[in-house]
Amino acid sequence: MTLSTNTISYEVRDHRAYLTLDRPDRLNAITAEMGREIAAAVAAANDDDRVRVIVVQGAGRAFSAGYDLKLYAEEGEDLQPEVWDPIKDFRMMKANTDNFFSLWRSPKPTIAKVRGYAVAGGSDIALSCDLVVMAEDARIGYMPARVWGCPTTAMWVYRLGAERAKRMLLTGDTITGQQAKEWGLVIDAVPEADLDAAVEKLAERMAGVPTNQLIMQKMMINQAYDNMGLQTTQNLAVLFDGITRHSPEGRWFAEFARQHGFGAAVRWRDQGRFIPDGGGPIPAAEDLVGGEA
């Protein structure tokens, strides 16, 4: 299978496929093309008899900082007019979600290796993997829960349970790899210097198991999640994600990004500045955190 890879890199060695998100200058920010290339790489790995385990990682200093808000918020790509078509939006975001979730649906097991940040949409990609290993000082969270987003894979609740999922999504806070391990969100957290070795040790152990055994064990476990309504929950989350981006508050955030830049908009959101119900006037430059426009 020939892969066209503009946003990821892909290689196979030692019975492992390495899928690397490869936009390091943008902290591996997500585009629709990246989602499609992830799914294509997962398909290639499953078609390759040499591969038993898939390792997903980010180039540079982060796993992924989420969707590229310069495109989607500041420049308004895919933001619809005031009278918007929810089904058009649903189809777009469902395609992205299905591409990420190819990692979960992959017959062969997947491991996410997280350093730096796996936040916003980047956390969707990481949590779509079967196992997640983080650097202790890495951060994971879904800040767009504050405005302009709903995690479309819905994996927070399936991994954490209702109360801790609410703790994350009702605040938009991030947590360290160490806390994520303590909460059971990820399988392990290690010092950053030991991260590569820890993932290789786990992948090597799994790669010693016959492929058919790996696939059957994974299918059995995933079936339990399907029985709990995973697909139905994802459908609702995808629809809600579109609503958050086209609600009055979502449009306020997008206009903020257009006027002041996505960096200023993200700082306003993530530092806990008040987000007015129903939108409202966009703050003047002098009112921004640190006076930055």
Whether residue 24 has pLDDT greater than 60:
yes
Q: Which of these ranges, 65-74, 172-181, 271-280, has the smallest mean pLDDT?
A: 65-74
The proportion of the chain whose per-residue pLDDT surpasses 90, expressed as a percent, equals 84
Query: Residue 63 corresponds to which tokens in the numbers above?
Result: 């796993």
* pLDDT, tens digit (0-9, with 9 covering 90-100), for 123-171: 999 999 999 999 999 999 999 999 999 999 999 999 999 999 999 999 9
* pLDDT, tens digit (0-9, with 9 covering 90-100), for 94-105: 999 999 999 999
pLDDT band at residue 71 under the 50/70/90 scheme: confident
Q: What CATH superfamily is the domain 8-244?
A: 2-enoyl-CoA Hydratase; Chain A, domain 1 (3.90.226.10)
CB-count burial class (<10 Å; 0-12, 13-18, 19+) for 107: middle
Whether residue 180 has pLDDT greater than 70:
yes
Query: Residue 176 corresponds to which tokens in the numbers above?
Result: 């360290």
116 within 8 A of 63, measured Cβ to Cβ:
yes
Q: Which is more confidently placed, 285 or 122?
A: 122
Query: Which residues are CB-neighbours of 188 under 8 A, at least 6 positions away?
Result: 133, 134, 181, 198, 202
Domain boundaries, the chain: 8-244, 247-291
- Hey, which residues does 10 pair with through a beta bridge? 19
